[in-house]
């Protein structure tokens, strides 16, 4: 059997674990609901303010809490069982979705409500994200870790198709409020799945060490690792200059495509579909080219697809550009994530993955805020094109710097 065929089979090998199958289904339902809420929230913010900058401010509120809490959350993830943490964080997220539903349904919602809810949601994500990343290893073991990471990426990508598709229908028929309600319901799928899951490969938690000492050790390990340091910095650059494209899609759909609801839903779904294809192709691509080469080409592809989107004025060509943006974005970040997870020792896993959360999601909203402000001055298409160029140049500058100083 060829290595390529073996890797294709290996891509789905994590499904051999009953615990992972439960986790996969629960997360598919829950994350789809989250993407429904993201679409409805972006639509609602832009309708309330007609401002690209406010889209960035709302995202920034979420990112600020991640920046403040991520280093501490890594210590928490290394000290507390991940299953328990996830059940707590996802229950809180369900309650926050219900609050948004109540405000939107009664038509009393204001943009500051959404900012506050985004901050609280980001606070839970600062713990939930590294806990989820670590939990994958606990349910599949090290032998199927790469498969678990790839399938988790497929969950997130599939959700970006299912969530916006359902949210687009809900926006057109019953309004944004019910997207928040459906998101709250979706957490039941995740909570039930987590309750039923047994953990076959638990990672030992350390509650005896001083938390501040653990924090310092984690930061020192990340800083001095010749592989993890450049990967985290590249992830940070991608979080600032690649991922913020998602935050500007409501404005692009409204101002450029003149289709604030249908256009936004179609662009989001197209990007999600590209992400699903990336997850399915990941094993074959990385087997042939390796994770480093895949990451480098994905950086170029992400930037070029963003530039391609910037010059579109019709929905279908914009959907094609979003498809490639989603494809290359997932190839880029899953390559980074997999390289980190395959080398980091278990005793540092939670802390390093919390730094990955910080680089990938914590600074993304600030990139989105800057993108929104730039768009106010030079227009949405020009701002997207500028970010596409900067994403390529800065990512490769970081990699070249670490290569010379290795």
CA angle 88–92–93, rounded 5-degree value: 115
Among the listed ranges 38-47, 118-127, 303-312, 332-341, which one has the minimum average pLDDT value? 38-47
Question: Stretch 363-384: mean pLDDT, rounded?
Answer: 84
DSSP letter string over 5-37?
A: HHHHHHHTGGGGSHHHHHHHHHHHHHHHHHHHH
Residue 330 · residue 281 · CB < 8 Å: no
**Of 99-113, 268-282, 309-323, 381-395, the least confident:** 268-282
C-alpha to C-alpha distance for 104 and 217, rounded to whole angstroms: 45
Whole-number pLDDT of residue 4: 39
Helix (H, G, I), strand (E, B) or coil at 2: coil
**pLDDT over threshold 90, residue 328:** yes
Count of Cβ atoms closer than 10 Å to residue 2 Cβ:
8
SS (H, E, C) 351-381: HHHHHHHHHHHHCHHHHHHHHHHHHHHHCHH
- The answer to whether the beta carbons of residues 35 and 167 sit under 8 Å apart is yes
Q: Rounded CA gap, 171 and 39, in Å?
A: 9
Residues contacting residue 178 through CB under 8 Å, at least 6 positions apart:
101, 105, 170
Angle at Cα 112 formed by Cα 111 and Cα 118, nearest 5°?
95
b (16+ CB within 10 A) / e for 194-226: beebeeebebeeeeeeeeeebbebbeebbeebe
Where do we find the tokens 């697809």? Answer: 305
Question: Distance from CA of residue 147 to its chain's centroid?
Answer: 18
What 3-state DSSP class applies to 210?
A: coil
Which region holds residue 379: left if phi is over 0, alpha if psi is between -120 and 50, else beta? left
Query: Exposed, middle or buried: residue 140 (CB in 10 Å: 0-12, 13-18, 19+)?
Result: buried
pTM for the whole structure: 0.78
Determine the average pLDDT of the residues in 243-265.
Answer: 82
Residue with tokens 């959700």: 159
Which letter, b or e, does each residue of 4-41 get, where b requires 16 or more Cβ atoms within 10 Å of its Cβ? eeebeebbebbeebebbbbbbebbbbbbbbbbbbbbbb
- Give the rounded percent of residues in the chain with a pLDDT score beyond 90: 28
Is it the case that residue 2 has pLDDT exceeding 60?
Answer: no
DSSP annotation of 253? I
The 10s digit of each residue's pLDDT in 153-197 is 888 777 767 776 777 778 778 888 898 999 999 999 899 999 999
φ, ψ for residue 306, nearest 5 deg: -65, -40
Does residue 290 come out as left (phi exceeding 0), alpha (psi in the -120 to 50 range) or beta? left
Q: How far apart are CA 58 and CA 369, in angstroms?
A: 8
Quote the pLDDT of residue 205: 67
- pLDDT of res. 9: 44
Q: Comparing C-alpha atoms, which of 268, 254, 236, 214 is closest to residue 77? A: 214
Taking only the tens place, the pLDDT of each residue in 3-28 is: 333 444 467 788 888 999 999 999 99
The DSSP output letter for 207 is -
- 121: tokens are 């949601």
Note the residue count of the chain: 406
Place of tokens 């997932």: 330
Domains and CATH numbers, the chain: 3-201+211-404 (1.20.1250.20)
At 201, is the secondary structure helix, strand, or coil? coil
Does pLDDT of 320 surpass 90? yes
State the Cα–Cα distance between residues 162 and 32, nearest whole angstrom: 6
């Amino acid at each position: 059997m060829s290595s390529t065929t073996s890797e294709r089979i290996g891509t789905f090998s994590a499904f051999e674990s009953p615990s992972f199958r439960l986790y996969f289904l629960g997360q598919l339902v829950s994350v789809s609901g989250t993407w429904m809420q993201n679409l409805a929230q972006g639509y609602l913010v832009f309708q309330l303010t007609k401002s690209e900058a406010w889209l960035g401010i709302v995202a920034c509120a979420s990112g600020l809490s991640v920046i403040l809490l991520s280093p501490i959350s890594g210590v928490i993830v290394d000290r507390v069982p991940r299953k328990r943490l996830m059940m707590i964080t996802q229950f809180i997220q369900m309650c926050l979705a219900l609050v948004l539903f109540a405000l939107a349904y009664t038509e009393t919602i204001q943009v500051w409500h959404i900012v506050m809810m985004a901050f609280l949601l980001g606070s839970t994500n600062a713990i939930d994200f590294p806990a989820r990343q670590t939990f994958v290893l606990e349910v599949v073991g090290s032998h199927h870790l790469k498969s678990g990471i790839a399938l988790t990426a497929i969950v997130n990508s599939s959700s970006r198709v299912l969530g916006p598709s359902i949210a687009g229908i809900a926006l057109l028929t019953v309004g944004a409020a019910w997207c928040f309600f459906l998101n709250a319901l979706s957490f039941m799928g995740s909570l039930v799945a987590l309750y039923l899951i047994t953990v076959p490969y638990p990672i030992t938690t350390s509650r005896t060490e001083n938390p501040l000492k653990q924090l310092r050790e984690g930061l020192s390990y990340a800083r001095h690792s010749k592989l993890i340091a450049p990967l985290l910095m590249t992830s940070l650059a991608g979080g600032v200059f690649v991922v913020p494209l998602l935050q500007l899609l409501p404005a692009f759909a409204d101002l450029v495509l003149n289709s604030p609801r249908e256009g936004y839903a179609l662009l989001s779904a197209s990007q999600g579909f590209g992400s699903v294809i990336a997850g399915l192709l990941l094993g074959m691509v990385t087997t042939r080219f390796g994770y480093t080469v895949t990451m480098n080409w994905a950086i170029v592809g992400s930037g070029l697809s963003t530039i391609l989107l910037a010059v579109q004025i019709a929905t279908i060509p914009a959907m094609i550009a979003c498809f490639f943006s989603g494809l290359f974005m997932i190839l880029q970040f899953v390559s980074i994530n997999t390289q980190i997870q395959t080398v980091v020792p278990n005793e540092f896993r939670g802390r390093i993955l919390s730094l990955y959360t910080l680089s990938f999601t914590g600074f993304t909203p600030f990139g989105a805020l800057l993108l929104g402000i730039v768009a106010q001055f030079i227009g949405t298409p020009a701002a997207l094109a500028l970010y596409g160029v900067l994403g390529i140049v800065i990512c490769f500058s970081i990699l070249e710097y670490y290569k010379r100083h290795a």
